[in-house]
Amino acid sequence: MSDLKFSKDHEWVQFEDGIATIGISDYAQEQLGDVVYIELPEVGQKIALGEQGAVVESVKAASEIYVPASGEVVEVNSALEDEPGLVNGDPTGGGWFFKLKLDDEAELAALMDDSAYQEFVEDLG
Confidence of residue 115 (pLDDT cuts 50, 70, 90): very high
Q: What is the mean pLDDT of residues 52-66?
A: 94
Long-range contacts of 36-39 (CB under 8 A, 24+ apart): 36/84, 37/84, 38/80, 38/81, 38/84, 38/87, 38/97
96-113 average pLDDT score? 96
| Domain 5-113 classification at class level | mainly beta
Mean pLDDT of 15-36: 95
The band of 74, judged by pLDDT with boundaries at 50, 70 and 90, is very high
**Distance between CA atoms of 121 and 101, rounded to whole angstroms?**
28
Q: Tell whether the model's pLDDT for residue 57 goes beyond 60.
A: yes
Terminal alpha carbon distance of the chain: 22
Per-residue model confidence (pLDDT) at position 1 = 40
Q: What is the pLDDT of residue 2?
A: 53
Fill in the amino acid letter for 123. D
Whole-model pTM? 0.94
Q: Where are the alpha helices (DSSP H) in the chain?
A: 26-32, 79-82, 86-89, 114-123
Mean per-residue pLDDT, 15-35: 95
Domain coordinates of the chain in residue numbers?
5-113
Give yes or no for residue 5 having a pLDDT over 90: yes
What value does the mean pLDDT take over residues 77-90?
A: 96
